[in-house]
Each structure stands twice: as structure tokens, then as C-alpha cells.
């Protein structure tokens, strides 16, 4: 393979112009996530021990608004469930039926392995979330997602439609994710350094993973698959959900990270911009 150029490693892309284009980008992301999931495969034993000990990965921000709801949740569907640690945390939180959906073959194989070790009654679907099977329509008291999910969605309206069809009347969507403002700045810099991002119209593609996340565990850069991401302003996400008839119940912006973002930032600058947001939306009762 010829040497990689800077453009191969990172470039701005037009926003996807059609559902077909979004799906093609998702397929490339599937291949990339099969590589990136190696980091999770290496952590399977630790994940089993964590979950066997009855622990939960629920973030304190999520707990603040989900705790009153969880006792009523009989079925939770986790969109973009990765290797299932967060899905099975919901089971440890007392949700009797948990279902995970993810595009990555390796992640779903990992989730099945963890489930077998726990003898957990979890169900897993490997598919583009846009193709989540219709047999799950109306099944969810809770659709749970986030923590690195929205950036991979290349069809926001399609995503909002899937969320809505999966929910029971009265069911909730919980979304806790990276704040789009955090995209504006260079991830590796010591200060907030504007990274030439158009907040209102930004998609990109590239190779490689953040050093504090998957790093070089996805294999040599020149053999990696291309990842396609989009920046979705919170207003666009909320609007997509409102247009599907969901009712906004909670919206929060937080300085609290859920991963080691901006690892080199000067300590005095921490907490000055929102790193995450949280959202709870409800499908109206019939
Ligand atoms: C950052 S990870 C989520 C991390 C997760 N919160 C965890 O347990 O660590 C993003 C996940 O989205 C999945 N994904 C990306 N695009 C997808 C799509 N179109 N449909 C379903 N899953 C997708 C990836 O395979 C990956 O597992």
C-alpha cells in the first residue's frame, strides 16, 4: 500500500446527502469497529468479573435522571451497545430484559461471550441500528444510548425514527453523550485550541483512534478501515426527536466527561466548557 497522506488520515467530508450514502458510511464504520473492538476483546475477563460482582457502569449523570425510572423498566434496548458492558449494567441495575444492538460483528460476539459467562438473559442483534428488526417495535420501556454514539450516526432523522418505533407508548429515550462544543477544539492540545470546525455543518473521516481510548490496538494505521463521523448540534438532535412526536423531559449540559477526553489540557481549564450532555425524551401514551 502507498504511504498515507495527511488527507488519508483525517479530512473534512460533506454531510451525507442520502440514506444510501449514510448506510455506506456505516458499513465502513462497521469494518473500523471490528478493528477497534479488539480493545474490548482484550477486556472481556475484566468485564465478566465486573458484571459478576454486580457492578454497574451507569454514569452519575445518567443515574441522576434514570434512578427514579429504572424500577418501572421491564425492557431496555441499548442502541450501539458495543461489547455489552453498559447493557448488562442495566441488567445489574434490575432491568429484567436487556437487548443490545450494534453494527460490529466483533462487539456482538464479545457480548455473547460475556452473556454466556454470566448466564444472563440478554439478547443481541448485529445490524446497522437503522435496520433494527421490526420485531422489536414497541418493545422498549427504555431506549438507552450514548457515550460515544451520536457521532457515528450519519442519518439523524433515520435514527430518531428507529428510537421512536422501538419505544412503548410512555417509554423513554436516555441519551448521554459527548457535547458537540467539545468537537470544536484540538483533542491533544494543552489549551482550548479552535480546530477549524464548522459547528453547524461538520462531518469528517479518517484513520486512527484517540490515544486515551483505543489507541494503536486497532492495528497498523495503513491497514485500518475508514471511520465516518458527524457533528450533531444538540438542537438538531432535539428537533429530530420532537418531529417524531417525542416529548422532551430533561436536557442537561455537563462538565463531566465519561472518557479521558483532552488528556493534555491544563488543569485550570477543566470544567470551563461542557464535555457532555444528557437528554430524556418520552413517547406519549396512546
Ligand atoms: C464508542 S462505542 C460505544 C461505547 C459504549 N458506550 C461502550 O460500552 O463502551 C460506539 C459503538 O457504536 C457502534 N456503531 C457505530 N455505528 C453504528 C450503527 N450504524 N449501528 C449500530 N451500531 C453502530 C460501534 O460498533 C460501537 O460499538
Pick from 145, 172, 180: nearest CA to 248: 172
CATH, residue 30: 3.40.50.150
Is residue 237 in a domain? Answer: yes
Is residue 28 in a domain? Answer: yes
Q: What is the mean pLDDT of residues 88-113?
A: 98
What digits encode the pLDDT tens for the residues 249-273? 999 999 999 999 999 999 999 999 9
Is residue 1 in a domain? Answer: no
pLDDT at res. 88: 98
Determine the Cα angle at 277 with ends 168 and 179, to 5°.
125
Conformational region of residue 147, where left means phi above 0, alpha means psi within -120 to 50, and beta covers everything else: left
pLDDT at res. 286: 79
Residue 168 CA to ligand 1 center (angstroms) comes to 23
Domains of the chain: total: 1
pLDDT higher than threshold 60 for residue 30: yes
Is residue 104 in a domain? Answer: yes
d(Cα 80, Cα 102) in Å, to the nearest integer?
Answer: 5
Is residue 114 in a domain? Answer: yes
pLDDT at res. 108: 98
Is residue 62 in a domain? Answer: yes
Is residue 214 in a domain? Answer: yes
Is residue 109 in a domain? Answer: yes
Domain membership of residue 146 as a residue range: 6-283
What digits encode the pLDDT tens for the residues 137-153? 999 999 999 999 999 99
What digits encode the pLDDT tens for the residues 33-82? 999 999 999 999 999 999 999 999 999 999 999 999 999 999 999 999 99
List, chain by chain if needed, residues with CB within 6 Å of any ligand 1 atom. Answer: 26, 29, 33, 80, 82, 85-86, 101-104, 107, 128-129, 147-149, 152
Full-model pTM: 0.97
Q: What is the mean pLDDT of residues 178-186?
A: 96
Atom 8 in ligand 1: residue holding the nearest Cα: 82
Residue 82 CA to ligand 1 center (angstroms) comes to 5
pLDDT higher than threshold 70 for residue 200: yes
pLDDT higher than threshold 70 for residue 163: yes
Amino acid at each position: 500500500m502507498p504511504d498515507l497522506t495527511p488527507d488519508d488520515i483525517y479530512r473534512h467530508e460533506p454531510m451525507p446527502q442520502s440514506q444510501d450514502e449514510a448506510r455506506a458510511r456505516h458499513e465502513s464504520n462497521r469494518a473500523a469497529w471490528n478493528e477497534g473492538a479488539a480493545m474490548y476483546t482484550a477486556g472481556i475477563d475484566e468485564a465478566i468479573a465486573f458484571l459478576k460482582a454486580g457492578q454497574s457502569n451507569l454514569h452519575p449523570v445518567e443515574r441522576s435522571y434514570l434512578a427514579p425510572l429504572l424500577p418501572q423498566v421491564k425492557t431496555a434496548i441499548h442502541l450501539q451497545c458495543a461489547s455489552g458492558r453498559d447493557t448488562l449494567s442495566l441488567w445489574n441495575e434490575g432491568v429484567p430484559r436487556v437487548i443490545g444492538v450494534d453494527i460490529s460483528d466483533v462487539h456482538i460476539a464479545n457480548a455473547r461471550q460475556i452473556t454466556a459467562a454470566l448466564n444472563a438473559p440478554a439478547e443481541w442483534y448485529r445490524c446497522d441500528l437503522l435496520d433494527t428488526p421490526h420485531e422489536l417495535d414497541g418493545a422498549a420501556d427504555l431506549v438507552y444510548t450514548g457515550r460515544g454514539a451520536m457521532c457515528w450516526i450519519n442519518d439523524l432523522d433515520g435514527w430518531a425514527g428507529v428510537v421512536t418505533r422501538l419505544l412503548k407508548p410512555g417509554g423513554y429515550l436516555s441519551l448521554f453523550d459527548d457535547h458537540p462544543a467539545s468537537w470544536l477544539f484540538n483533542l491533544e492540545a494543552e489549551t482550548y485550541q479552535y480546530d477549524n470546525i464548522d459547528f453547524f455543518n461538520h462531518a469528517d473521516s479518517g484513520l486512527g483512534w484517540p490515544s486515551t481510548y483505543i489507541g494503536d490496538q486497532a492495528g497498523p494505521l495503513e491497514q485500518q478501515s475508514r471511520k465516518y463521523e458527524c457533528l450533531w448540534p444538540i438542537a438538531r438532535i432535539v428537533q429530530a426527536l420532537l418531529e417524531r412526536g417525542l416529548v422532551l423531559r430533561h436536557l442537561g449540559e455537563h462538565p463531566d466527561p465519561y472518557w479521558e477526553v483532552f488528556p493534555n489540557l491544563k488543569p485550570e481549564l477543566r470544567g470551563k466548557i461542557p464535555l457532555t450532555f444528557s437528554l430524556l425524551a418520552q413517547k406519549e401514551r396512546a
